[in-house]
Structure 1
């Protein structure tokens, strides 16, 4: 059995867990995490082998989606422990993609680019909603914004304008400009394609997408992240009890 064949079996099992547990509107977070831990124990040996980044990205995405779904409950509140996990998994996905880029990256299946876009938009929105709480927890907000901007440039560098990565990069950029309007990249963050733009990340004329790009991708898991008008309504209020904010996840 080859490494590729083992990875395919592992991915199928992982996405079966995502389908049956992580993506449910009312998921049991404890049960979901136990299922993911069992999967990880079974396939951990593959994590140190070539091309394992996609297993790792899927593993991060499973947790990220499970946390996001669990927060949709009407009675849910945001805890510092959950916020830290969301940041950790979002960062993990984005960094894995950027750090393992090679000549085969442009040939990846579209779902990988969707996972990356979902992670970036999640990071954007939690910074927008919980910025004071993140600062209180000693997060560098500029660093999180820079990471999203770096991913946008990475997506837009892949293939021609009709490539899925390029298209999703434009959509994430549109959202990023709206959610983080005061962000200006440092000189080293600006790519050649953006050099000379002093009015912001891109001008309105450079963005030719409709007002609500979510309509183009309504069948995606987490499509609501693409909704231009969702705002802070996607996320629950911050837990008020000190004891609750440190609840284990």
Structure 2
């Protein structure tokens, strides 16, 4: 709160000009303090999320920001800081105070399976809220990110996978995303115990990825009828 003062200076015309000045009048001007609300995840009100139970089929995870003092006219973003990468939402400019909804891409959630995430919102790029802590439960098997092989001069590039729990009878499929959209996926291939499996990627897929960061992962099916298990993301710059 800022303190200001003012006084009135008056001149009275007449035979003898008189000047009169009032005593200073002090007053205070209150500046509105912006304290952003801590974001929340409706599907994880207790700060814990099981991906396979809560959003196995979903394209995104909702994060909400409740109204707060000084919200009107502000530009607000949400940042998701996972164990391996961070993602920031497009800004939403608020006309009237209201609850805001932000959608975290599915791939960012997959990349954080088995890890801890911190979520905060930012006002006008400078004022940060306190963080919401989210733990994402581990899945049945831990799957590291795949590996990419350019294979320059060959008609295809390659992606390989190998994980500790890999046994004969499991099958895998590689997926390649550009701008969070599925661009290409492999056929399903059968895996062997302890042996790296290679998937051939058309050269056209690599060409389409130039100047971008491709997000590449794979899924594992252990047995018929079981839910897929998801690997970490490989973020490959082209």
**Interval of TM-score (by shorter of Structure 1 and Structure 2):** under 0.3
- Structure ranking higher in strand proportion: 2
TM value normalised by structure 1: 0.23
Larger Rg over CA atoms: 2
TM value normalised by structure 2: 0.24
Indicate the structure whose relative CO is greater, using CA pairs within 8 Å and at least 6 residues apart.
1
- Structure ranking higher in helix proportion: 1
